[in-house]
Amino acid sequence: SSHGVFSICLPSLLPADHSATVRGLQSIFQEQEMTETVHDTEGHGYLATFIGKNGRFAILRVHSHGLVTFDLQCCEGDDITQVDNLLNALEKKLKALLHGNVQRVKRLPALQRGAEVDRYWPTADGRLVEYDIDEVVYDKDSAYQNIKILHSQQFGNILILNGDVNLAESDLPYTQAIMGSGRECYAGKEVLILGGGDGGILCEAVKLKPKMITMLVIDGCRKHMRKTCGNVLDNLKGDCYEVLVEDCVPVLKKFVEEGRTFDYVINDLTAVPISTAPEEESTWEFLRLILDLSIKVLRSSGKYFTQGNCVNLTEALGEYEELLGKLSCKVDFSKEVVCVPSYLELWVFYTIWKK
């Protein structure tokens, strides 16, 4: 079903004004053959629902503080022109009834619920975004997570893991930022990539002639993210790289025991948790563990790169920066803010090194 919404703000209304306003609208609902049911709000303004032909359902609410809201739900196949005409007539009539006392009118685009293709995905700081998604390319549960790849007309294929937008084919700025934004020389260096199953980091790093790249990943996107990964995930071994399809924690612990070290460690496993609430504690513990192990396999002159989160999540980012001061080895850090196209928000990236 789709969902048309508009709201009007005006000075406070008395109960007598509510009934006068609603009476003035009744002719429009009668023309549309919509049956009204008035609900008791126990003195909190006026609330009525309307049921019409073609499965239309509407909610009219007049609040005492002056907000009037109207929500109209209709089913697929309904006459959109008729629906628009109804909303236009209501808006025009309300403005006339309220004698120019309207401070603001806001009409929102229709929300589509229950569609075959889900176009709505929240930003990290909880705002709802409607993407121009037109196709579900891939949707499967692996042993570790749900993996979706959806096609966007603007951003190309978008990788979504457990409901979080991870990376789109448009998002080269993300890959560049998590590799140091072109300021590093990877030639002849040893590199460890944690995660990055979209293949973007590996694809870009191979071009920079490193000595060897070791990549630890649990799920890869070889087939449907070709613009991001090129052909590097076609084989698990190349001239200067090896992809290990393994959980990174035991492998990192093994590297620590063996004394193996790297010039660069790039952690693309997970963003900083969005809150410090108790339910996020396991993710924070995982971050601490990965950080500690990664710094132990980092050479004294090496650098550790990772994503943070949305720039608006200042509390969570502050918690992460405090965490950096509590590692077993003393570190320093810098950060950079980058606009990642498909995220539709600014994203923080960290560079960390040993003191």
Catalytic residue set? 268
CA–CA distance, 282 with 340 (Å, rounded to integer): 27
Q: Which residues contact 57 (CB under 8 A, 6 or more apart)?
A: 49, 50, 51, 72, 73, 74
CA–CA distance, 127 with 202 (Å, rounded to integer): 31
Distance between start and end Cα atoms, the chain? 57
Q: How many CB atoms lie within 10 A of CB 274?
A: 18
CA–CA distance, 265 with 263 (Å, rounded to integer): 7
Contact 179, 201 (CB under 8 A): yes
Phi and psi at residue 295, to the nearest 5°: -65, -35
CA–CA distance, 320 with 336 (Å, rounded to integer): 15
Contact 57, 5 (CB under 8 A): no
